[in-house]
């Protein structure tokens, strides 16, 4: 099964595509969509939409995994900005007929590390280990996206299904 994880952000949207089956989990591709703060919001979300759509069309995943939106009371503007990029990722998913799965960040971290409150560096190290990568997946948006895709395998038992 091919799975796409996306870590949406208005400045950087990380993505990671993995294949999972009886032979294990392997990375197919990963990267980041960068937008410029100098561009207006409409150009930035358009760029995210076009690039994520291109990844979907090229890699043909069966499912797209996102982290549930969480808003910290001290930083509500952050979740509003993330909501813009998250919305266009959901749109790309819907238009292309993909199954959309949302997990809480604590559930993703627990499935990857065994600790729902693990730090970003611990998650990145486990992603590197699980995928047998020789280098750290960078930037962190990429390792977070790959963690989302991997969590689907562990939570929904994809490997057992083949």
Choosing from 19, 67, 125, 156, which is the catalytic residue?
67
Choosing from 19, 39, 129, 141, which is the catalytic residue?
141
DSSP state of 134: S
Q: How far apart, in Å, are the Cα atoms of 66 and each of 8, 89, 137, 141, 152? A: 8, 9, 18, 12, 10
67 is catalytic: yes
Q: Element (H or E) spanning 95, and its range?
A: helix 76-95
Q: Among 5, 62, 53, 50, which Cα is nearest to 29's?
A: 5
- Asked whether 130 and 146 are in contact (CB, 8 A), the reply is no
23 is catalytic: no
Query: What are the residues whose beta carbons fall under 8 Å from the beta carbon of 73, sequence distance 6 or more?
Result: none
Choosing from 7, 19, 47, 144, which is the catalytic residue?
7
In whole angstroms, what is the distance from residue 116 CA to residue 133 CA? 23
7 is catalytic: yes
The token pair at 50 is: 């076009």
Q: Which residues are known to be catalytic?
A: 7, 67, 141
């Amino acid at each position: 099964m091919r799975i796409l994880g996306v870590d949406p952000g208005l400045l950087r949207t990380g993505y990671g595509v993995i294949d999972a089956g009886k032979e294990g989990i392997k990375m197919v591709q990963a990267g980041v969509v960068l937008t410029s703060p100098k561009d207006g919001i409409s150009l930035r979300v358009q760029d995210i939409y076009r690039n994520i759509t291109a990844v979907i069309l090229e890699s043909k995943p069966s499912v797209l995994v996102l982290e549930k939106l969480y808003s910290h009371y001290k930083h509500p503007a952050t979740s509003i900005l993330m909501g813009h990029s998250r919305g266009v990722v959901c749109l790309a998913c819907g238009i292309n007929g993909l199954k959309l799965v949302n997990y809480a960040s604590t559930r993703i971290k627990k499935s990857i590390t065994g600790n729902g409150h693990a730090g970003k560096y611990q998650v990145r190290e486990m992603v590197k280990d699980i995928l047998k990568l020789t280098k750290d997946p960078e930037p962190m948006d990429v390792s977070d996206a790959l963690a989302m895709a991997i969590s689907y395998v562990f939570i929904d038992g994809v490997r057992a299904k083949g």
